Chains A and B, each alone.
Chain A
Amino acid sequence: MQDHDVQPLHLTRRRMLGGMGIASLALMSSPASAQQTVDLHVPGGPSARIITTSYPQKGRMILQRSSPPWLETPFEVFDKGVFTPNDQHYVSWHWANFPGDIDVDGFRLTVRGQVNQTLSLSLKDILQGLPRFDIAAVNQCAGASRIYADPRVAGAQWANGSMSNAIWTGVRLKGVLDRAGVKPGAIQVRFGGLDEPVIPEAPKFLKSLTIDHARNGEVMIAFAMNGEQLPLLNGFPLRLVVPGWCGVYWIKMLNDIEVLDQPDTNYWTATGYRVPDTPHNTVKPGETGFKMVPVTRNAPRSFITNIRNGDSVPAGTPASARGIAFGGDCGVARVDLSIDGGKGWQPTQLGADQGTYGFRQWQTQFALPARGAHTLMVRCTNTKNEAQPDFRIWNPAGYLYNTIETTHVVAA
């Protein structure tokens, strides 16, 4: 098996399912010259990443880290529609120790802690015993686009593809908590999955929500995305879906729900994933003296998907621009395009609303007046009237970047 083969997805997937042993070897042994790479165009580098097809149930992905896997969605996928195909939905794990082999009959989801009755739910209980619903929602890593931080910061060097949109199918977390019976005095709900740290003393990956958030009727225990069971690497058999909030809360292989009457003190909730408590969570490099708070909701973002940096566009004649946007923790109100580096803005036409928390397509026509270099920019304003900022967002850990995107083109 060779990584540089560009295969139709169904072929790739069949190959993956049939020949994983070989695929694992190929990932390591392919000479660099035989591997297809992508250039992420980051000043200071390293910019090149391997395109891999070696991961189970996954098609072409940008290999950010082999283990535990960080697989980024190639950007061209976002031009094809608002729903990201499951086999190109991005992948991010904190700990390498998670099963590849899950017995659906033996699997149990435990609900415990400050509840009247501890539950041990089978997958049959969840799929056949509780009302289900669908919700479209973007799963985006808090560290999305960190590679473009200036100055650079350590962490997963995601470009713009650590975000993916799906229609999730599952049951309401509220319904499950109601079945267990939350006791008075409960303040948070903590979620854990089957993944374990390699080093036993290391902090197990856990995240918590407030009890009110957990019971808002939108937070989902999902068993399907885009009509199919979850790919293993996206959290099979169950994952938490927290619409509008960063992916770090979307616990994969969810098997433990603990209702707490004290604030969660585990590392991932109490210490990790922190941003400055400043407008847009931005500070100056080297600045000190600000309070740190947890990352929570997504911020509005938008992208041009059919024109890339450096593309040539005809001068003086109408051209099409299109792309995707999302509002963060609410819907998209408008998307505007600038063809003069942000001085003037023109409205675009929004595509069908496929769900408040999902991607929304936008499109418009524009004409560049003269030959030469031009700067396109796209700006989302959400239904809370919050627009993407035109200044560069920076914070020490590179979280929640949502600066207006810029695309440099040449009119010819």
Chain B
Amino acid sequence: MPRAVLPMVAVLALVLLPHPGQAATITTLKSPKLDVPTSDAMFPAGPGSDAINNSCLACHSADHVLNQPSLSREAWQEVVNKMITAYKAPIGADDAKAIVDYLVRTKGAS
């Protein structure tokens, strides 16, 4: 990015003007000690809900899935495959099928 050098001077000057002294003020950081909320919400009960609860909630909350659009069986199969192959979700073939069926039943689209 050879364009960076000259414009940077101008950028810095403009940035600094409306906020004088900001860059100079922080010299130490304070240790945070914070709790980040989690969720224990489960998937709506129905065929396959045990499989999806047991297989998916270790890594992400249920709202991750519930906020997704309605998708085709092929698209849901692709999502579950990605969770298994890319993200190493330990899901056996039977559970994977039950999860895809659950997703198609609750959030399916033709």
Interface residues, chain A, with chain B CB atoms under 8 Å away:
17, 20-21, 23-24, 27-28, 42, 44-46, 49, 54-57, 63-70, 95-96, 98, 100-105, 123-124, 127-128, 132-136, 147, 152-154, 157, 167, 169, 197-199, 201-203, 212-213, 216-218, 223-224, 226-229, 232-233, 236-237, 267, 271-272, 352-356
Q: Are B71 and A224 in contact (CB under 8 A)?
A: no
Closest to B33 in A: A101
Measured in the bound complex, the distance between the Cα atoms of B86 and A271 in whole Å is 9
Chain B residues near A24: list those with CB within 8 A. 35, 37-38
Question: Given that A65-B60, A127-B26 are known contacts, is A203 also in contact with B86, CB under 8 Å in the complex?
Answer: yes
- Which of B15, B25, B69, B109 interacts with A135 by CB under 8 Å? B15
Measured in the bound complex, the distance between the Cα atoms of B25 and A223 in whole Å is 12
Closest to A45 in B: B69
Q: Are B14 and A227 in contact (CB under 8 A)?
A: no
Measured in the bound complex, the distance between the Cα atoms of B32 and A103 in whole Å is 8
What's the least CB distance linking A328 to chain B, in Å? 13
Q: Are B1 and A216 in contact (CB under 8 A)?
A: yes
Measured in the bound complex, the distance between the Cα atoms of B89 and A203 in whole Å is 11
What's the least CB distance linking B13 to chain A, in Å? 10
Q: Are B12 and A217 in contact (CB under 8 A)?
A: no
Chain A facing B: main interface SS: loop
Q: Determine whether B4 belongs to the interface, using a CB cutoff of 8 Å to chain A.
A: yes
Closest to B14 in A: A353
Q: Are A103 and B31 in contact (CB under 8 A)?
A: yes
- Which of A56, A199, A223, A224 interacts with B36 by CB under 8 Å? A56
**24 A-B interface contacts by CB (under 8 A):** A28-B37, A28-B39, A57-B32, A66-B63, A96-B38, A100-B33, A101-B31, A104-B30, A132-B23, A132-B24, A134-B19, A134-B22, A135-B15, A154-B69, A198-B59, A201-B88, A202-B59, A218-B1, A223-B26, A224-B22, A226-B22, A227-B19, A236-B32, A354-B15
5 nearest A-B residue pairs (beta carbon) = A152-B69, A66-B39, A56-B34, A66-B61, A227-B22
Question: Given that A66-B63, A217-B5 are known contacts, is A56 also in contact with B35, CB under 8 Å in the complex?
Answer: yes
What's the least CB distance linking A347 to chain B, in Å? 22
Measured in the bound complex, the distance between the Cα atoms of B29 and A123 in whole Å is 8
What's the least CB distance linking A357 to chain B, in Å? 8
Q: Are B32 and A356 in contact (CB under 8 A)?
A: no
Q: Are B37 and A55 in contact (CB under 8 A)?
A: yes
Interface residues, chain B, with chain A CB atoms under 8 Å away:
1, 4-5, 7-8, 11-12, 14-16, 18-19, 22-41, 58-61, 63-64, 66-71, 75, 78-79, 86-90, 109
Q: Are B29 and A223 in contact (CB under 8 A)?
A: yes
Q: Are B37 and A356 in contact (CB under 8 A)?
A: no
Question: Given that A104-B30, A202-B88 are known contacts, is A356 also in contact with B67, CB under 8 Å in the complex?
Answer: no
What's the least CB distance linking A122 to chain B, in Å? 11
Q: Are B22 and A69 in contact (CB under 8 A)?
A: no
Q: Are B15 and A136 in contact (CB under 8 A)?
A: yes
- Which of A101, A123, A124, A199 interacts with B59 by CB under 8 Å? A199
Measured in the bound complex, the distance between the Cα atoms of B69 and A348 in whole Å is 36
Q: Are B87 and A202 in contact (CB under 8 A)?
A: yes
Chain B residues near A66: list those with CB within 8 A. 37-39, 41, 61, 63
Q: Are B29 and A199 in contact (CB under 8 A)?
A: no
Known: A56-B35, A124-B28, A224-B22. 16 other contacts (CB 8 A): A17-B34, A28-B41, A46-B67, A96-B60, A100-B34, A104-B31, A133-B23, A135-B15, A167-B15, A199-B88, A203-B86, A226-B22, A228-B26, A237-B29, A354-B14, A355-B11
Chain B residues near A56: list those with CB within 8 A. 32, 34-36
What's the least CB distance linking B12 to chain A, in Å? 6
Measured in the bound complex, the distance between the Cα atoms of B70 and A52 in whole Å is 24
Question: Given that A20-B35, A44-B69, A167-B15 are known contacts, is A213 also in contact with B7, CB under 8 Å in the complex?
Answer: no
Chain A residues near B68: list those with CB within 8 A. 154, 157
Q: Are A267 and B86 in contact (CB under 8 A)?
A: yes
Q: Are A64 and B34 in contact (CB under 8 A)?
A: no
A21, A105, A154, A197 pick with most chain B CB within 10 angstroms: A154
Measured in the bound complex, the distance between the Cα atoms of B36 and A102 in whole Å is 13
